[in-house]
Structure 1
Amino acid sequence: MGETEPGVSERPLPLAGYRILSAEQYGAGPYGTMFLAQLGAEVIKVEPPPQNGKGGGDTARAVGPHFLRENESLYFQTFNLNKKSLTLNLQSEEGRAIFRKLAADAHAVANNLRGDLPARLGLTYAALKDVNPRLVCAHLSAYGRDNERAKWPGYDYLMQAEAGFLSLTGEPDGPPVRFGLSMVDFMTGTMMAVGLLAALADAERSGLGRDIDVDLLSAAAHQMSYPGLWYMNENDVTPRAPYGAHPTATPSQMFRTADGWMFVMAQLPKFWTVLVEEIGRAELAEDARFRTPADRRANRDALTAELEAVFRARPTAHWIDLLKGKMPVAPVNSLEDAMDNPFLEETGMIDHVDHPDRAGIKVLTSPIKVDGRRLPTQAGPLLGADSDAILAALGYDAEAIADLKQSGIV
Structure 2
Amino acid sequence: MRPLEDVRIISLEQYGAGPFGSVHLADLGADVLKIEEPSSGGDVGRYVPPYRDGEDSLFYETFNRNKSSLSLDLSTAGGRAVFEDLVRDADAVYSNLRGDVPAKIGITYDDLKHLNPRIVCCSLTGFGMTGPRAKEPGYDYILQGLAGWMSLTGDPDGPPTKSGLSLVDFTGGYVAALSLMAGLHAARRDGVGGDCDVSLYDTAIGMLTYPAAWHLNAGYEPSRTKNSAHPSLVPFQAFRASDDWFIVGCAKEKFWVRLVETMGLADLLDDPRFADFTARGEHRDDLLPVLEERFAQRTAVEWVDDLRAAGVPTGPINSVEQALTEEHTLARGLIATTEHEHWGQVSQVVSPVRFGEEQPVYRRAPRRNENFDEVVERLGYSPQRIQDLVDDGAFGDPMPGSVR
TM-score bin, normalised by smaller chain: over 0.9
Residue of 51, 57, 62 corresponding to 1:73? 57
Counterpart residue identity of residue 5, structure 2: A
Q: Does 1:285 align with 2:274?
A: no
Counterpart residue identity of residue 26, structure 1: Y
Question: Unmatched 5+ residue regions in structure 1?
Answer: 1-11
Alpha carbons 2:77, 2:394 under 8 Å: kept: no
Q: Distance in 1 between matches of 2:253 and 2:208?
A: 26
In structure 1, the partner of 2:17 is: 28
Counterpart residue identity of residue 32, structure 1: G
Q: How does 1:340-351 map to 2 (within 5 A)?
A: 340-351=325-336
**Alpha-carbon shift at residue 128 of structure 1 (Å):** 0.8
Q: Distance in 2 between matches of 1:13 and 1:313?
A: 52
Q: Distance in 2 between matches of 1:90 and 1:338?
A: 43
Q: Distance in 1 between matches of 2:285 and 2:344?
A: 52
The one-character-per-residue Cα deviations of 1:114-161 (angstroms, maximum 9, x if unpaired) are 111111212111111111111110011111112232211110111111
Alpha carbons 2:76, 2:392 under 8 Å: kept: no
Q: Distance in 2 between matches of 1:206 and 1:26?
A: 33
Residue of 163, 170, 194 corresponding to 1:179? 163
Residue of 329, 333, 336 corresponding to 2:318? 333
**Alpha-carbon shift at residue 401 of structure 1 (Å):** 4.1
Q: Does 1:108 align with 2:98?
A: no
1:393–1:372: structure 2 CA closer, same or farther, 3 Å change rule?
closer
The one-character-per-residue Cα deviations of 1:228-287 (angstroms, maximum 9, x if unpaired) are 111111111122211101110100000011221111001111000000111222122223
Question: Unmatched 5+ residue regions in structure 2?
Answer: 396-404
1:147–1:92: structure 2 CA closer, same or farther, 3 Å change rule?
farther
1:323–1:184: structure 2 CA closer, same or farther, 3 Å change rule?
same
Q: How does 1:37-116 map to 2 (within 5 A)?
A: 37-49=26-38, 51=39, 56-67=41-52, 69-116=53-100
1:405–1:181: structure 2 CA closer, same or farther, 3 Å change rule?
farther
Give the CA RMSD over aligned residues.
1.6
**Alpha-carbon shift at residue 374 of structure 1 (Å):** 4.0
1:307–1:102: structure 2 CA closer, same or farther, 3 Å change rule?
same
Residue of 358, 363, 366 corresponding to 1:381? 366
SS of 1:114's equivalent in the other structure is coil
Q: Distance in 1 between matches of 2:201 and 2:144?
A: 8
Q: Distance in 1 between matches of 2:362 and 2:244?
A: 35
Residue of 331, 350, 356 corresponding to 2:341? 356
- Identify which range, 16-25 or 357-366, moves more after superposition: 357-366
In structure 2, the partner of 1:7 is: none
Q: Distance in 1 between matches of 2:131 and 2:276?
A: 49
Percent identity between the two aligned chains: 42
The one-character-per-residue Cα deviations of 1:328-380 (angstroms, maximum 9, x if unpaired) are 11111112211222321111011111122233311111112222354222211
Q: How does 1:93-172 map to 2 (within 5 A)?
A: 93-172=77-156
Q: Distance in 2 between matches of 1:112 and 1:241?
A: 34
Q: Distance in 2 between matches of 1:128 and 1:175?
A: 47
Q: How does 1:234-383 map to 2 (within 5 A)?
A: 234-324=218-308, 326-383=311-368
1:332–1:207: structure 2 CA closer, same or farther, 3 Å change rule?
same
Q: Does 1:394 align with 2:383?
A: no
Q: Distance in 2 between matches of 1:374 and 1:317?
A: 34
Q: Distance in 2 between matches of 1:64 and 1:404?
A: 34
Alpha carbons 2:79, 2:393 under 8 Å: kept: no
Counterpart residue identity of residue 6, structure 2: G
**Alpha-carbon shift at residue 397 of structure 1 (Å):** 4.2
SS of 2:154's equivalent in the other structure is coil
Counterpart residue identity of residue 187, structure 2: A
1:398–1:258: structure 2 CA closer, same or farther, 3 Å change rule?
farther
1:342–1:407: structure 2 CA closer, same or farther, 3 Å change rule?
farther
SS of 2:222's equivalent in the other structure is coil
Q: Distance in 1 between matches of 2:390 and 2:300?
A: 59
Q: Distance in 1 between matches of 2:245 and 2:9?
A: 44
Alpha carbons 1:227, 1:238 under 8 Å: kept: yes
1:95–1:310: structure 2 CA closer, same or farther, 3 Å change rule?
same
In structure 1, the partner of 2:401 is: none
Alpha carbons 1:256, 1:262 under 8 Å: kept: yes
Q: Distance in 2 between matches of 1:263 and 1:123?
A: 47
- Number of residue equivalences: 394
Alpha carbons 1:368, 1:374 under 8 Å: kept: no
**Alpha-carbon shift at residue 41 of structure 1 (Å):** 0.8
The one-character-per-residue Cα deviations of 1:67-95 (angstroms, maximum 9, x if unpaired) are 2x212000011211111111111222221
The one-character-per-residue Cα deviations of 1:147-187 (angstroms, maximum 9, x if unpaired) are 23221111011111111000111111211111111111111
- Identify which range, 108-117 or 364-373, moves more after superposition: 364-373
Q: Distance in 2 between matches of 1:229 and 1:293?
A: 19
Alpha carbons 1:368, 1:375 under 8 Å: kept: no
Q: How does 1:193-212 map to 2 (within 5 A)?
A: 193-212=177-196
1:372–1:324: structure 2 CA closer, same or farther, 3 Å change rule?
farther
Q: Normalising by structure 1, what TM-score?
A: 0.92
